[in-house]
Each structure stands twice: as C-alpha cells, then as structure tokens.
C-alpha cells in the first residue's frame, strides 16, 4: 500500500468554511490526490513500455501491433500462448516457491501428486477424523518435498489411480505418457537410494518400493468399467489394489528390508506400516502361506471395546445364534480346535459390527476400525496350525481303533472348519479376492478332499450333529467357485446330502426347506445382507436337481 502526503494549509478552520464556496477543503484534497496518483501510474506505464520495447526487434513489434489491431473485441488473436507471469512472485504457478525437490513441474504433475496424497494415500489414515487425515497428508507431502524418489513414485501411482477411477470416455493418453516417464524416474531414483547405506533402509525407500511393487504396471491401467458397490470391496480402494499386477520380487525385497530395519514398528511414516501389514495378510490368504510379519496386537482387545460385541446390545440380539453351530469343536479333544473356536467368535463379532454399520446404528464402530480388527483376525486365522498332513497321513489311513478313529475324525472336522473360515473371509469380509479363481479354487479343492475323507472314509455325514455343518460348508464353498467346474461337484454333494437327510419324508424343497436351511446356516458364519441372495441361487440349483430326481422316481 502506498501513502501519498499532500501539503495543505487552509486559510481558516474547517468548521468556518463558507458553505457557499464552490469547493470544500476535503474535495480539493481528494482531487489533488487522484490527480497525482494518476500521473504516477502513467509514468510507471510509460517506463515499462519503453523497457519492453528495447528488447523487441522491429519484426516482433510489427507482429504484435498487427495482432492487437486485428482484435475487434479487445482480445489477442495472435494464436501464441500467453507466457506465465513469472515477473510476479507466485502468480499463476502451482509451486511458486519451488518447494518440491524437482522444481518447475507442469500442472498435470502437480494434479497427479495432489490426487495421490488427497485421494489415494489418505485412505490409510487411522480413522476419518480431520486431524488424522491431515497428519497423513502432511507426512506424505513432506516426503514428496524432500525425496525425488517419493515425488516421482507418488506422481506415478496417483496418475494410475486416477486413470483407474476416471470415466472410460476420458482420454488418458497424456496420463499414460506421464505414468511411463514418472515410473522411469522413480526407478532411477530407487536404484540410487538403494546404493547408499544411509538411505537403503529409510522409510522413503520402503514407501516407494511398496508402491512400485503394488502398482507394478500402472502405465497400462485403464478405466474400470464396473464400480464395486459392496462396502468391504470399495473401502480403502480394495477394487483398485485387487486389480493391479503386482511385482512380487519387489514386494519380497520390501519385506526383507523391513525385517532388516527391525520390523513394522520401526516405520514412522503414517499409514505405511498398516498398508504393508494388510498386503502381507491378504497375500498370505491368496497363497495359503504364513504371514511374514508377526501379529501387531490381538484382535480381542479391539473387538471387546465395541458396544456391538456386548451380548445385551441390540445388534448382538439380532443374530444370537451366530457360531453356535461350531460348539462341537470343544469336544474334539484338540487344543488347536479351541483356538479355532476363539477365532471364529471374533469373526462373529466382526459380522455383528459390520451388520450394525450397514444399518447405520449409532452403536456401530467406524468402518476403518472394523477393517483393522478384520485384518488382525485374519492374521490369527492364518497362524493356526495346518493339520492336513496329519489328516492324510498314511499312519491313520488303515487304522480303525476307537482312539485313532476319534483323532482322525477330529482332524477332518478341524481342517474343514478352518478352511471354510477362509472361504467366508474371501466371499464376505474380503470380497475383492472372491472373483479371483486362482485364489478360490485351491481352497475349494482342499475342502473337497476333506469332505470326501469325512464322508466316504469316516462316515461323519451319518452323525446328525454334523448335518447342518456340512450343509453350510458345501453352500459357502459352492458360492466361492460359482463359475467353475467345481461348482457342480458341490451342488451334487448337497443334493446327496439333503436327499439322505429327508429320506422317507414329504418335503417342500422350494419353500419350507429353504427357510429351514437359512435358519441352520445362520448358526455358523452368516451375514444376511451378503449371503442370502447368492446362497438362495445355489439352493435353487439344488432343489431343481432334487425335484428332477423325484419326478424321475415316479416315471
């Protein structure tokens, strides 16, 4: 702001000014001020024009003059791009102070960086409180400012993420070029960082390696055609990460670097440890392996703080019979069966909490807390002993003493229950893996083998205690392999199982029996909003076969 002082000495006091005078002292001062200010502005404008004219050649002056003269509406029509106003500090520039480690980047780069920070990485905040989101954004922004490696990696992943979520009609050709160039720059920076002992174990290197491994071929990403609407799939952008082609060797290297660093608890960048732990757990479910990192904390203290986990809560009372069908595990005589039952009870609390969240109940925990507890529970399920080798051991194959037979049956029931718990996780609580037949088929094959052992060799299907259990196992597994050849095997298993159960009775397969089946399934792991429709379709296929067999019997 400029202050202009004008000398003015009135001949008499302002209160004594003649009211008939043509111009008051105040009016005179204002007129003098505006006149002098106008003169100063004109002088400054002439000086700028003279200085600009000295730097132009005659041809440029003539071209500029003709361009201006040809503009009848006052706009420049020369067709030349208007240069950025670099003479004024920060005017028209996204990064006016060149705060980033790589200055003078085009606008599109900054857009993708902002998208990565605001729309992609903020999903890994501990909760949705503004301060938590701000902390994550600030930490990642600071990392991008300091580290060229993280800067280029974030631009690459942000561009891939935005291309995935944009409309299929949007032209992403420029984005594809940016993704390719930023990926090349990120890999160059990564090689440099890994060659230095000072930076090889830094959070920035782990962060960049993890993103480059997860978004392995982001330059080829195209817009998704069908949006995932299910909460557990859409939350934390599960659809995006489940559709990526991972660089598994890079991810193995990340895991080794984190171990060399001292573990996940040594990582300080907000959200990074949670993202790595989630990736470790979910890939372990995919490949049926043990997690690479130890359990961060037990799930029971987290779930135990929820109002929905209290037996007297309205949410709990809506489904009081959940997991009661698994109580036979306490009679198997296997210590691991008790551990499995505890894990299943935590899954029950997760189901109740998620159902309450879907109903928008006030007592429901936040969805991010449900997902955090789900991951802990999945880790606990993964670390339970795999007793399939003992189940199919040759030492048990031809021994029929009561003690050995009891052990053999216990192992079969334990393994079927453990494997089908994974099926429920994949179909309901982690549904992004449901459409991946490379994940579901190996589980279904193992369950098929266990069911064959339990029925043909151990005759467990003849015990009425396990009728509902086998019904639940077969329906859930059939759901997981709906579009494969294995589906027919499980439907046939259900047909034989139901036919043997209702032998000698007149049953309405389509109505009364279906209602009975739903009640029986709800005693295990069951979420009505997710399970009812697909399982009803499976039951339609089962009843169609049962009715056809019944009609053929009268022919």
The DSSP result for 184-220, as a single string, is HHHHHHHHHHHT-TTTTT-HHHHHHHHHHHHTTTGGG
> Are the CB atoms for 249 and 389 separated by under 8 Å?
no
- Following DSSP, what letter does each residue of 46-110 receive, concatenated? HHHHHHHHHTS-HHHHHHHHHHHHT-TTS---S-PPPPP-TTSTTTT-SSTT--SSS-S--HHHH
User: For residue 109, what are its two tokens?
Assistant: 């780069």
The per-residue pLDDT for range 66-109, each reduced to its tens digit, is: 443 444 344 444 444 444 444 333 333 445 556 566 666 788 88
The per-residue pLDDT for range 420-446, each reduced to its tens digit, is: 999 999 999 999 888 889 999 999 999
Instruction: List all residues 6 or more positions away from 340 whose beta carbon is below 8 Å from its beta carbon.
Output: 329, 384, 414, 417, 418, 421
> Are the CB atoms for 358 and 231 separated by under 8 Å?
yes
Supply the pLDDT for residue 505.
64
User: For residue 286, what are its two tokens?
Assistant: 């995919």
Supply the pLDDT for residue 494.
95
User: What's the angle, vertex CA 142, arms to CA 138 and CA 148, rounded to 5?
Assistant: 140
Beta strands in 407-499 (DSSP E): none
The pTM of this model reads 0.79
Stretches in the chain below the pLDDT threshold 50 = 11-21, 56, 58-94, 553-555
Supply the pLDDT for residue 207.
95
Supply the pLDDT for residue 80.
47
User: What is the C-alpha to C-alpha distance for residues 436 and 446, in angstroms, rounded to an integer?
Assistant: 17
DSSP 128: S
Q: How many CB atoms lie within 10 A of CB 452?
A: 14
> Are the CB atoms for 552 and 376 separated by under 8 Å?
no
Supply the pLDDT for residue 43.
74
Q: How far is CA 276 from its chain centroid?
A: 12
User: For residue 323, what are its two tokens?
Assistant: 């997991």
Supply the pLDDT for residue 99.
59
SS3 311: coil
Supply the pLDDT for residue 358.
95
Instruction: List all residues 6 or more positions away from 198 whose beta carbon is below 8 Å from its beta carbon.
Output: none
Supply the pLDDT for residue 549.
64
Q: How far is CA 114 from its chain centroid?
A: 18
Domain map (residue ranges) of the chain? 107-287, 299-553
> Are the CB atoms for 271 and 124 separated by under 8 Å?
yes
H/E stretch holding 161 reads helix 148-165
SS3 11: coil
């Amino acid at each position: 702001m400029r202050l202009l002082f004008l000398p003015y000495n009135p001949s008499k006091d302002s209160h004594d000014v003649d009211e008939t005078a043509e111009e008051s002292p105040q009016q005179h001062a204002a007129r003098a001020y505006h006149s002098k200010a106008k003169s100063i502005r004109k002088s400054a404008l002439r000086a700028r024009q003279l200085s600009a004219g000295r730097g132009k050649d005659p041809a440029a002056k003539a071209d500029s003059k003709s361009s201006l003269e040809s503009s009848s509406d006052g706009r420049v029509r020369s067709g030349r791009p208007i240069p950025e106003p670099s003479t004024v500090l920060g005017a028209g520039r996204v990064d006016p102070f060149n705060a980033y480690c790589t200055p003078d980047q085009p606008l599109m780069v900054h857009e993708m960086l902002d998208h990565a920070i605001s729309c992609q990485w903020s999903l890994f905040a501990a909760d949705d409180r503004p301060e938590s989101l701000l902390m994550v954004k600030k930490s990642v922004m600071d990392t991008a400012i300091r580290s060229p490696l993280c800067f280029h990696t974030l631009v690459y992943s942000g561009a891939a993420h935005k291309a995935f979520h944009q409309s299929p009609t949007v032209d992403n050709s420029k984005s594809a070029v940016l993704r390719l160039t930023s990926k090349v720059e990120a890999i160059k920076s990564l090689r440099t960082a890994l060659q230095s002992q000072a930076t090889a174990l830094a959070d920035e290197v782990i962060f960049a390696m993890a993103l480059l491994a997860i978004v392995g071929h982001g330059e080829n990403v195209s817009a998704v055609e069908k949006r995932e609407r299910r909460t557990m799939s859409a939350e934390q952008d599960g659809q995006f990460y489940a559709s990526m082609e991972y660089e598994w060797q890079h991810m193995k290297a990340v895991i080794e670097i984190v171990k060399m660093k001292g573990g996940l608890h040594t990582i300080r960048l907000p959200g990074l440890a949670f993202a790595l732990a989630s990736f470790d757990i979910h890939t372990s479910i995919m490949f049926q392996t043990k997690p690479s990192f130890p359990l961060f904390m037990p799930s029971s203290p987290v779930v135990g703080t929820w109002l929905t986990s209290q037996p007297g809560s309205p949410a709990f009372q809506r489904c009081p019979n959940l997991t009661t069908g698994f109580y036979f595990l306490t009679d198997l005589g296997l210590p691991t069966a008790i551990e499995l039952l505890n894990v299943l009870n935590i899954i029950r609390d997760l189901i109740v909490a998620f159902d309450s969240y879907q109903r928008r109940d006030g007592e429901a925990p936040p969805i991010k807390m449900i997902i955090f507890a789900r991951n802990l529970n999945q880790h606990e399920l993964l670390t339970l002993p795999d007793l399939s080798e003992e189940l199919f051991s040759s030492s048990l194959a031809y021994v029929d003493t009561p003690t050995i037979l009891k052990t053999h049956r216990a192992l079969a029931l334990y393994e079927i229950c453990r494997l089908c718990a994974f099926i429920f996780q994949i179909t309901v609580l982690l549904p992004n893996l449901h459409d991946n037949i490379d994940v579901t088929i190996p589980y279904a094959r193992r369950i098929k083998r266990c069911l064959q052992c339990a029925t043909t060799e151990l005759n467990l299907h003849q015990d009425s205690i396990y009728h509902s259990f086998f019904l639940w196992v077969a329906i859930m597994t059939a759901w997981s392999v709906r579009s494969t050849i294995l589906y027919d095997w499980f439907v046939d298993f259900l047909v034989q199982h139901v036919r043997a159960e209702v032998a000698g009775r007149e049953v309405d397969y389509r109505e009364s029996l279906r209602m009975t089946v739903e009640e029986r399934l709800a005693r295990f792991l069951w979420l009505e909003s997710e399970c009812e429709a697909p399982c009803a379709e499976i039951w339609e296929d089962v009843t169609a076969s049962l009715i056809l067999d019944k009609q053929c019997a009268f022919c």
